[in-house]
């Protein structure tokens, strides 16, 4: 049989903590896979090694078959467009048998991992602030946010499963960028609901500027509403159930029936509000930021003219690329990028870019 290699494809970040946490996950995954499989990893942008470097190392170790998986929670542009473009280009160039698996997605193990993080926050709050029934507590789940309703909808499904599974009195879903409602308007809305305790849970794998943003806005809203307990839950990180789900996304590629990817993908089927994108060209636009790291100009809050304590996302408003939302730690300012190079395709405009609770709401931060 051909020697098998496993390639974990991460997004990449200018946050060194996020890069380190992703590397830890990649180091722990081999224990859940066959002993003779080789495992490597790489990033789409803003960090080294890039994906093709990891693929090179697997080939150098004699891997003739490579099972690639996106190191991401849900399938949006990066998972559906950018990573497949890199993999397809590499596979054709080197003649490698390279397959691509599913994102982590809505999975019982992922819900269990999220439940543990929320439960930890609840127990801490009960210990430090006093007991309060979950039926009198509001849960706020914050997802990444994308120009893809498939990914955004999955965040809402996770939130509902957490609320219903644990018995929270109310639940709201918000997003750190691109779509609506963003963190600040979401939390502002929650303050009007009458709940005395709010658990804010970032449904994220790793640290980075977006986690800083979520916690930063939580602190701001909490300061303005001293009668409400705002409790910050931890993100998923390398929870054992996350590792188990990653392992299955790899091994299921060699099963008799390989699970289909992206069942409600806007590129494959008509999704309400996004009908014009069926059959759109799917190509990567990340080659110009491969390998740029934490020392790139404007990469940190300290070098940003628009941010004080954390990245608010205000920079993207004047850059004309609302739906990409490249920010400090997860890919930062648009004016750090050279968008003068020519594209042979245009990314469709996100239809809700000017929603008052979406990207435009960031303008109020400095107002």
* Structure tokens given for 42: 């790489």
Please give the pLDDT value at position 309: 76
What is the tens place of the pLDDT at every residue in 200-224? Answer: 999 999 999 999 999 999 999 999 9
Say if residues 162 and 113 touch (Cβ distance below 8 Å): no
**Prior bond of 147 cis (ω within 30°):** no
Range list of β-strands (E), 11-149: 38-43, 65-70, 97-100, 137-143
Residues 147 and 354: their CA atoms lie apart, in Å, by 13
Please give the pLDDT value at position 80: 83
Q: At what angle do helices 149-166 and 108-129 cross, to 10 degrees?
A: 50
pTM: 0.81
Q: Give Cα 207 distance to the centre of its chain.
A: 10
Domains of the chain with bracketed CATH: 4-105+239-254 (3.40.50.1400), 108-232 (3.40.50.1400)
Q: How many CB atoms lie within 10 A of CB 37?
A: 18
Buried b (16+ CB within 10 A) or exposed e, 166-179: bebbbbbbbbbbbb
* Structure tokens given for 68: 């690639």
Distances (CA, A) of 129 to 69, 122, 191, 230, 263: 42, 10, 18, 11, 43
Q: Which residues of the chain have pLDDT under 50?
A: 271-273, 296-298, 319-345, 366-367
Which residue, 243, 316, 346, is CA-closest to 26? Answer: 243
Please give the pLDDT value at position 257: 66
Please give the pLDDT value at position 268: 55
């Amino acid at each position: 049989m051909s020697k098998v290699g496993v390639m974990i494809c991460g997004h990449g970040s200018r946050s060194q903590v996020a890069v380190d946490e992703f590397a830890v996950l990649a180091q722990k995954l081999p224990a859940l896979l066959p002993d003779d499989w080789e495992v490597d990893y790489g990033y789409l942008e803003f960090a080294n090694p890039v994906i093709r470097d990891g693929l090179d190392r697997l080939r150098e170790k004699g891997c003739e078959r490579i099972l690639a998986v996106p190191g991401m929670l849900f399938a949006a542009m990066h998972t559906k467009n950018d990573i497949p473009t890199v993999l397809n280009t590499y596979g054709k160039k080197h003649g490698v048998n390279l397959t691509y698996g599913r994102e982590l997605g809505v999975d019982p193990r992922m819900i269990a991992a999220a439940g543990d993080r929320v439960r930890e926050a609840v127990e801490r709050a009960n210990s430090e602030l006093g007991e309060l029934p979950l039926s009198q507590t509001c849960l706020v789940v914050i997802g990444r946010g994308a120009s893809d309703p498939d990914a955004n909808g999955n965040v809402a499904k996770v939130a509902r499963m957490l609320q219903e599974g644990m018995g929270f009195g109310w639940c709201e879903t918000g997003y750190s960028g691109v779509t609506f409602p963003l963190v600040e308007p979401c939390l502002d809305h929650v303050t009007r609901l009458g709940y005395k305790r709010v658990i804010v849970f970032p449904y994220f794998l790793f640290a980075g500027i977006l986690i800083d943003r979520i916690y930063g806005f939580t602190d701001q809203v909490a300061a303005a509403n001293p009668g409400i307990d705002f409790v910050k839950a931890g993100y998923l990180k390398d929870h054992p159930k996350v590792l188990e789900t990653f392992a299955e996304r790899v091994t299921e590629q060699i099963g008799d029936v390989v699970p289909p990817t992206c069942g409600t993908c806007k590129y494959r089927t008509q999704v309400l509000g996004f009908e014009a994108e069926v059959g759109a060209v799917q190509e990567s636009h990340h080659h110009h930021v491969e390998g740029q790291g934490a020392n790139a100009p404007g990469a940190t809050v300290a070098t940003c003219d628009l941010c004080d304590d954390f990245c608010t996302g205000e920079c993207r408003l004047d850059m004309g690329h609302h739906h990409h939302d490249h920010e400090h730690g997860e890919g930062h300012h648009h004016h750090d990028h050279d968008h003068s190079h020519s594209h042979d395709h245009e990314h469709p405009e996100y239809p809700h870019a000017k929603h008052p609770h979406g990207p435009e709401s960031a303008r109020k931060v400095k107002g």
